[in-house]
Structure 1
Amino acid sequence: MRQKKTDGLLVCLIFLCSIASAQAQLFDASVKRVLFLGNSITYAAGYAQAIEAYHKAYFPQQKIEFINVGLPSETVSGLSEEGHADGRFPRPDLHERLDRVLLQTQPDIVFASYGMNDGIYLPLDSLRFQKFKDGILWLHAQIEARGSRIIHLTPAPFDEELGKKPGYAQVLDRYSEWLLQQKSWEVIDVHFPMQDFQTAQQKTDPNFALAKDGVHPGDLGHWIMAQQILRYLGQKSILQFPTIIQALSPIKDPNSFFQLIVKRHNLMKDAWLSSTGHLRPEMKKGLPLMEALALSLEIDKQIEALLTP
């Protein structure tokens, strides 16, 4: 019986490896930790979870820890509008916590997603724009100074009709264009692909929206983000899959597989946020990091079981 199980595992691994061999590795063999930095869209985690699930499914031999420390409301510009959160607290500023995050997580690669909150939902203004640029330049320098690789994401688009902030879509267009003009940087554009997709869909369904509130993408929006990132990382055929579940089709029970990835990811993101610390109130308190890691290992056993035939 044990021999049959071993043979079955080898068959599964060979099958997955044969698929992976036809594609570029997502990450170099030296990569052990991948960090996601950003605001509430990153904290929502859909795109980060899809990348983690895809990597686990197709490159199971490479053990990478995916760490999400996205913080809702956060900016890299350091700005906050008057009356934010009905006056309960100002927007958190990445400057306050970045040193602690990098010291504790020691990432090899950082995906940074900022911009949505950085113009504080007001029309384009040169001073606010400069604050965003200064913040991104500072962030880029901080990551590089620690010897890590930083990959910037353009911000998700803003829907003015649903978000009720006239002129703000143009702000994020301009912020995205500026990021894409930094030719010596690694920048992945999610902004314009998402915008183009929504425009195309609205030709047949005027009420279609990737973000029901104009700001926070739903599952489809997060998958479009993940697709653009995975394509940048060498997965050239990723755009053919309408959902992450379909992209995981070689896995036995891809729905259960993905839900376990989501469960582990959410457990660890709250633990990492609590461990690294921040000034934003009204956040879920994560478990102590070592306790969360122990639970994470138990979930990982269930994930591994779904990689076997």
Structure 2
Amino acid sequence: MQKSGCILSTLFVTIYVWMAGMGVIRAQDAPYPLEHAKRILFLGNSITYGGDYVSIFETSLSVSYPANNPEVINLALPSETVSGLSEPDHADGKFPRPCLFSRVTSVLQKSKPIDIAFACYGMNDGIYLPFDMNRFEAYKRGMIRLRDSLEAAGVKRIIFMTPPIHDDKDKGLGGYNLVLDKYAEWLLAQRKARGWEVIDVHFPMRAYLEKKRQKDADFKLAEDGVHPGKEGHWLIAKALLQYFHLQGGLVKTLNDFLESQPYIVNLYTLIGKRQSFMKDAWLTYTGHERPGMPIGLPMEEAAIQYEQLEREIFQLKRN
């Protein structure tokens, strides 16, 4: 009987080791829980710097997990790429596009420890030209390098976002979107190829835009083709809310979410106000090479204002 038990124990251990080796049991790879995060970082270009979807996400997170109060840091930089590419006439020839890797070491050192990092790149990386394999490879190398940098910095959970839609009415959803389609498809394929965590923003926005234009050919999410307005930022945020099953993910519009509970609109206003000055404070503190950016508050002064608004937010949720 004892020998039989030993044989069974050995068999169970063998099966477990085999399953672990095959990826069936990988408890150590379970994603770090969003509700446990104390510091969340957003990286990206001007769309993320615009910040509306970040504020909506933080508002929903605060409502969904009221006992947790993570610091949500927006360190996106307008015009930025991970590919290191730029148009010769970018910004009327005043300066080339900045590359994330000129500042990523400082960002990760000065913002640590980061529990969860979101990264949304691609819109600028094709530099608004037709598809080119060399540019595509530069984007892929940049995303892999970014992943490596975040892992080396000890980030516990890394989440990529596909690039938003390019809203060029004159070219329909062709033109530059054919480039962004390929970038988004490659990024989504890394879920299986490399085990990356990826949230799709691009194709839901594309489907929404196509549906709207069936009724109104002049409908646009972004007046300049690149930077979405409130409705576009809501679509980006909604993809995040649905992914994490946060409050607001099942409603149709931003107003529906803001009106779902009496205090949410005021919470969103306070969070948006705080995000507005903190993103510039963080950019100034960590440093960057892009001309024309606002000079943020010194971090010591920004931290005082942050805590003042944190107290207001606490009282709002408490009441």
Deviates more, 1:141-150 or 1:214-223: 141-150
In the alignment, what sits opposite 1:61? 67
Query: Could you tell me which of 298, 301, 306 is aligned with 1:288?
Result: 298
- 1:74–1:94 contact (8 Å) kept in structure 2: yes
Does 1:50 find its partner at 2:60? no
Q: Deviations over 1:213-247 (max 9, x none)?
A: 1111111111111111111113387132411x432
Task: Work out whether residues 26 and 233 of structure 1, in 8 Å CA contact, stay in contact via their aligned partners in 2.
Answer: no
Q: How far apart, in 1, do the equivalents of 2:87 and 2:173 lie?
A: 13
Distance across 1 between alignment mates of 2:147 and 2:302:
30
1:169 Cα deviation after fit:
1.1
Q: In structure 1, how many angstroms separate the alpha carbons of the residues matched to 2:238 and 2:143?
A: 23
Deviation at 1:146, TM superposition (A): 2.3
Tell me the distance in 2 between the aligned counterparts of 1:169 and 1:287.
37
Q: Deviations over 1:248-302 (max 9, x none)?
A: 4454343222111100011111100000000000001100011001011111222
So what's the TM-score if we normalise by structure 1? 0.87
Matching of residues 112-261 of structure 1 within 5 Å: 112-148=119-155, 149-161=157-169, 167-182=175-190, 183=192, 184-235=195-246, 238-243=249-254, 245-249=255-259, 251-261=261-271
CA deviations on 1:51-104 (whole Å, 9 max, x unpaired) are: 111111221211200000110000000000001000111100001000000001
Q: 1:99-110 counterparts in 2 under 5 A? A: 99-106=105-112, 107-110=114-117
Measured against aligned partners, the alpha-carbon deviations of 1:189-228 in whole angstroms (never above 9, x if no partner) come to 0000001001001111111111111111111111111111
Which digits, 9 at most, give the CA deviation of each residue in 1:131-161, with x for residues without a partner? 0000001001111122212100000011233
Residues 223/165 of structure 1: CA separation in 2 closer, same or farther (3 Å cut): closer
Paired residue secondary structure (1:35): strand
2: CA distance, partners of 1:176 / 1:169: 10
CA distance in 2: counterparts of 1:196 and 1:298, whole angstroms: 41
Size of the aligned set, in residue pairs, is 283
SS of 2:159's equivalent in the other structure is strand
Unaligned runs of 5+ in 2: 1-31
State the 1:164 CA deviation: 10
Instruction: Tell me how far apart the structure 1 counterparts of residues 294 and 232 of structure 2 sit (CA, whole Å).
Output: 24
Select between 33-42 and 147-156 the one with higher mean Cα deviation.
Answer: 147-156
Q: 5+ residue gaps in structure 1?
A: 1-24
RMSD: 1.9
In structure 2, distance between residues paired with 1:152 and 1:217: 19
Cα distance in structure 1, aligned partners of 2:304 and 2:66 = 20
If the length of structure 2 is used for normalisation, what is the TM-score? Answer: 0.84
Q: Is the contact between residue 162 and residue 214 of structure 1 (CA under 8 Å) also seen in structure 2?
A: no
| Cα distance between partner residues in 2 of 1:170 and 1:87 | 26
Q: Which moved more, 1:209-218 or 1:250-259?
A: 250-259
Identity value in percent: 47
Which of these two proteins has the greater Rg computed from alpha carbons?
A: 2
Deviation at 1:304, TM superposition (A): 2.1
Q: C-alpha separation between the residues in 1 aligned to 2:94 and 2:173?
A: 21
Report what 1:12 is aligned to. Answer: none
Q: Is the 8 A contact 2:248 2:257 kept in 1?
A: no
What is the alpha-carbon distance in structure 1 between the residues aligned to residue 107 and residue 154 of structure 2? 15
Decide which of 72, 84, 95 is 1:89's aligned counterpart.
95
Would the alpha carbon gap of residues 28 and 166 (structure 1) be closer, same or farther in structure 2, given more than 3 Å must change? closer
Tell me: higher relative CO, structure 1 or 2? Use CA pairs within 8 A at least 6 residues apart.
Answer: 1
Counterpart CA distance in 1 for 2:173 and 2:90 is 14
Q: CA deviation at 1:47?
A: 0.9
